[in-house]
Amino acid sequence: MEHDVLIEDTGEHFLCRDSESVLNGMARLCRKGIPVGCRGGGCGICKVRVTAGEHRCRAMSKAHVSDTERACGVALACCIEACSDLRLQVLGKMQRAVCRSAADAASVRKSN
């Protein structure tokens, strides 16, 4: 089964299989809304907040996601699998670059 994933920061949607991590689903479709790092939970670059939907979560380093954050829906995109449609916000170290790229793309679309 596939689930629709919306990255709120960019407005980008992609379909993710329930058997793959959200990050791998995005990368498989050549999307770029979530920064990609090590893909194994060690770098924290793909940190996101799940704002809606259900997901499964593998073990994550507490150096990147504390128990308090995890209770508030924060996870590493490389460590979660969608169980339903999801809405995400990018939180990781590259958040500014993602938001800036989305704003630049929107201004180019408006000027065309």
pLDDT by residue for the chain (112 residues), tens digit each?
Answer: 999 999 998 888 999 998 899 999 998 888 778 888 888 888 888 999 999 999 999 888 888 999 999 999 999 999 999 999 999 999 966 555 555 555 555 554 555 5
Question: How many C-beta atoms lie closer than 10 Å to residue 38's C-beta?
Answer: 12
Q: What is the pTM of this model?
A: 0.80
Report whether 21 contacts 77 (CB < 8 A).
yes
> What single letter denotes the amino acid at residue 92?
G
Distance CA 29, CA 75 (A): 21
**For residue 68, what pLDDT is reported?**
92
SS3 at position 17: strand
- Ordered domains of the chain (ranges, CATH): 2-111 (3.10.20.30)
**For residue 107, what pLDDT is reported?**
53
- Compute the Cα dihedral for 103, 107, 110, 112 and give only its sign: negative
- Token pair 């379909």 is found at 15
Number of continuous H segments (helices) and E segments (strands) in the chain? 3, 7
- Compute the Cα dihedral for 42, 101, 69, 29 and give only its sign: negative
